[in-house]
Structure 1
Amino acid sequence: MDVSIDMKKLADSLSWKLETLPPLSKDCSIYRVAEPTRCSNPRHFTPRMVSIGPFHHGKEELKPMEEHKQRYLKYFLQRTKVSMVSFLTFIKKRETKLRNCYAETIRNLGSDEFVAMVLADAGFLIEFFMRYYKPRLITDDDRIFRKPQWHKEIWHDFLLVENQLPLFILKDLFDQAKITAREDAFYENISFVKITCFWFRNHVLGFLPLDENSLEIHFSKAEHFLDLIILSLQPSQPRAQIIIKDQNIPSVKELHQAGVKFKPAAGSTKNLLDINFNQGILEIPFFKVLDTTELVFRNLLAFESMHGYNGYFNDYIIMMACLISCPKDAELLVQNDVIRLGNTETVPTVFGNLGRDCTLYSDDFQYSGVVTNLQAYRKLPWHKWKATLKQNYFNTPWASISVIAAVILLLLTATQTVSSLIAL
């Protein structure tokens, strides 16, 4: 057998594969989590009740929700009076753009299946936000908002990095429905931005502090829901960067012993990432720690890293993981109204788990100035002496009275001793 002929066939076969590789878009914004990251925390990246988009579409464990998605789509179509053909045609014209939003080629869905999936998922999300915004739209057969009230569980799936639809198609479909249903009073003075941000304010901002106006400001630039949160967390003015020579960020307990005080960020500051230190006071924006905090934070970290953003959220997690390294740290922040939670044991675990997936870059750390000032403050002996005196001897009114009485008694004793010596 002529080996060169076999090699020619193999080369032709390989060349054909190379030539037929599907193009990858530089505009992708929806990613599948890398396997090493997924393996360590698979439940944090996997939808539990509903699939949104192609990555988890058709999974057996998520099929029970498909019927409810179809019911929502049916009500949406009836209310808007837009034909299904019109919507499908509208999506079909944008199929290439939609597919380009995903970081991998969607091979398991043909064109018709993909377009139908987008309509079902988009109709479901739009109807969900409409019903949340206007409860009078909730029907008696609604299993999501009536019994068994799955909306309390389902919303976590909306914030998974792999479970997203591009925002542009949701907004465009809503606008098409609004144009067709001009006579419906419900659509007056509302937009998809308005009903979506209403849900975010009531469901997400409860544990993830953001400036409310930032949602509307960044909505037009956001690729999807997770991107909207990351954009809203971006600082309006980046901090001046200095290199951290000492990467040992002190804990809350250590800072407390050095006399640092803690308080929730005051004024109009609501952004989760706005940690500041000034005149012995460390200000940390107030936030709640819920069962879902680690899940949402982990997906934000994954998306921020894969999408190539500056690591602002990465830096926040590192900072909080160092500050809250044990239950005593969490307890001190609870006492100072910085965080709210049911169990102080869980917070160090949450941030510790998250911190393992983060990297501190000493020359590009957004809290470098804060850390440097904290370290300098902690090194001054006077601050520690003053804190020790206050915490150990003046921590209660009775303790203060006892110390003052002891000092007075000591002074009287000393005076009496001096007087006796003078008399001699």
Structure 2
Amino acid sequence: MEKLADSLSGKLETLRPLSKECSIYRVPEPKRCLHPSHYTPQMVSIGPFHHGKEELKAMEEHKRRYLKCFLQRTKVRMARFLAFIKDREVELRNCYAEIIHNLQSDEFVTMVLVDAVFLIEFFLRNYKDNLITDDDRFFRKPELYYVIRYDFYLLENQLPLFILGDLFNLANTATYDDLYKNVSIVSITCFFLRADILAVLPIDKNLLEIHFSEAKHFLDLLILCLQQSQSRPQIVLKDLNIPGVKELHQGGIKFKSGSSECLLDIKFNNGILEIPSLTVYRRTERLFRNLLDFESMHGYTRYFNDYIIMMCNLISSPKDAELLIENEIIGLGYTETLPAIFRSLDEECIMDKSNFQYSGIVTNLQSYRKLPWHKWNTTLKQNYFNTSWASISVIAAVILLLLTVIQTVCSLIERIA
């Protein structure tokens, strides 16, 4: 036993300390098994977790072509870039939540250079189309462009943003012309994100630049932008039953497309529930799932988690989705699968009734729809004043009833007289 204890003690002594700076995580295997395609890059690996996979090797040549073009515009030698990354290797490795055993130092440094420059060059060509070469397989072949960018927002497929900025600035110290004049990693990256992600994830586009310097990677940047407007007073949610849109509609509540640019900024005032508009695309569920997991694993306040719970309850049936489409809150996209998408995402969410971000809204909604007058008023409008002809018919019937009453009263008066 002493010998065994010494062996185990030796292993304990060789344990490397884990960094508190990690921000790029592996998805737990149980989650991966449920939705493997939502966490696995389809075309390009970025960073160490999926590096070297056989199905992604075809992209390595395209990465190297981008690296070649990037180096041709700067007087900085490749050895200088590699040395620059080597000096930051420990910091880079500490960004990952697990130790990268499969890549030795030289392999790791090379991987970072190739992947980082690929992203920089991709954003540069998107920003300055005169940099696009005739043999570019992404910008000359739009179908590849539309697929590859899906991989940029996967939790396991990230590089720290700081290395992109450092390498771009290093290249810009000695270029052959003014190609990079008035251009920064912030400007080219945010230019791409505004065009690519805002249709799927409505956020204030100005927040991208504001939060860029503090963001660890692309997913972190998006989460930081979503958190910006969330400062609601919290109350304990006593009734966990969040009514669906149809049920709320029958209770007299109206719906309006929210004026806020932030997807999470749901409001309820004077009987009107404002929900920021959302169009669901093929990649929406994939993006939302990775955002959810990052928010949870990184220890952020669960703003996005609570949004998914709220929307799942509001859109619990196709009828709920139809009402939101009629009110121009949900755009025409993959709307037929909307309830199923939010239900699937909701399965991974955690409901904390003491810290639910929409607890005040839910409580007010529950109180409002219980008031009899609101329900009677809504029933009257929906059943008797739902069209102009129905309104005319009801008014005519009321007038006829009044005339009949008047005639009856007059007859009684004549008889008495």
| TM-score range for the pair, normalised by the shorter chain length | over 0.9
User: Could you report, residue by residue, the CA deviation over 1:54-106 in whole angstroms, capped at 9, with x for unpaired residues?
Assistant: 00000011111111111111111111232110100000000000000000000
User: Could you report, residue by residue, the CA deviation over 1:241-296 in whole angstroms, capped at 9, with x for unpaired residues?
Assistant: 00111010111101111111111112xx2011100000011111112110111000
Residue 148 of structure 1 and its aligned partner are, at CA, apart by 5.4
Residue 136 of structure 1 and its aligned partner are, at CA, apart by 1.4
Of 247, 254, 260, which residue of structure 1 is paired with 2:253?
260
Of 129, 132, 141, which residue of structure 1 is paired with 2:135?
141
CA distance in 2, matches of 1:159, 1:251: 31
User: Could you report, residue by residue, the CA deviation over 1:107-130 in whole angstroms, capped at 9, with x for unpaired residues?
Assistant: 000000000000000010000000
Q: Please state if 1:127 is matched with 2:118.
A: no
User: Could you report, residue by residue, the CA deviation over 1:290-312 in whole angstroms, capped at 9, with x for unpaired residues?
Assistant: 01110000000000000000000
Alignment-mate amino acid for residue 378 of structure 1: R
The 10-residue stretch of structure 1 (60-69 or 100-109) with the greater mean CA deviation from structure 2: 60-69
**1:202-281 alignment, distance < 5 Å:** 202-236=195-229, 238-266=231-259, 269-281=260-272
**1:91-102 alignment, distance < 5 Å:** 91-102=85-96
TM-score (ref. length: structure 2): 0.97
After superposition, the Cα gap between the structure-2 partners of 1:68 and 1:312, relative to the gap in structure 1 and judged at 3 Å, is same
User: Could you report, residue by residue, the CA deviation over 1:371-414 in whole angstroms, capped at 9, with x for unpaired residues?
Assistant: 11111111101011111111121111111111111111111222
CA distance in 2, matches of 1:229, 1:180: 32
Quote the residue 2:305 is aligned against: 314
Quote the residue 1:369 is aligned against: 360
**1:21-40 alignment, distance < 5 Å:** 21-40=15-34
Residue 420 of structure 1 and its aligned partner are, at CA, apart by 2.2
**Gap runs ≥5 in structure 2:** none
CA distance in 1, matches of 2:205, 2:393: 50
**1:171-182 alignment, distance < 5 Å:** 171-181=165-175
Kept in 2, the 8 Å contact 1:72–1:123? The answer is: yes
Kept in 1, the 8 Å contact 2:230–2:265? The answer is: no
Kept in 1, the 8 Å contact 2:27–2:156? The answer is: yes
**1:291-306 alignment, distance < 5 Å:** 291-306=282-297
Quote the residue 2:408 is aligned against: 417
User: Could you report, residue by residue, the CA deviation over 1:4-58 in whole angstroms, capped at 9, with x for unpaired residues?
Assistant: xxx3332222122111122211110000011111111111111111000000000
Kept in 2, the 8 Å contact 1:273–1:313? The answer is: yes
Kept in 1, the 8 Å contact 2:280–2:334? The answer is: no
Partner-residue secondary structure (3-state), 1:407: helix
Alignment-mate amino acid for residue 251 of structure 1: G
CA distance in 2, matches of 1:142, 1:34: 36
Kept in 1, the 8 Å contact 2:281–2:334? The answer is: no
Partner-residue secondary structure (3-state), 2:255: strand
The 10-residue stretch of structure 1 (161-170 or 30-39) with the greater mean CA deviation from structure 2: 30-39
Residue 196 of structure 1 and its aligned partner are, at CA, apart by 0.4
Residue 188 of structure 1 and its aligned partner are, at CA, apart by 1.3
Measured on the aligned residues, the alpha-carbon RMSD in Å equals: 1.1
Length, aligned pairs only = 415
Percent of counterpart pairs with the same letter?
69
Partner-residue secondary structure (3-state), 1:187: coil
Quote the residue 1:3 is aligned against: none
Partner-residue secondary structure (3-state), 1:150: helix
TM-score (ref. length: structure 1): 0.96
Residue 237 of structure 1 and its aligned partner are, at CA, apart by 5.3
**Gap runs ≥5 in structure 1:** 1-6
CA distance in 2, matches of 1:323, 1:264: 14
Quote the residue 1:109 is aligned against: 103
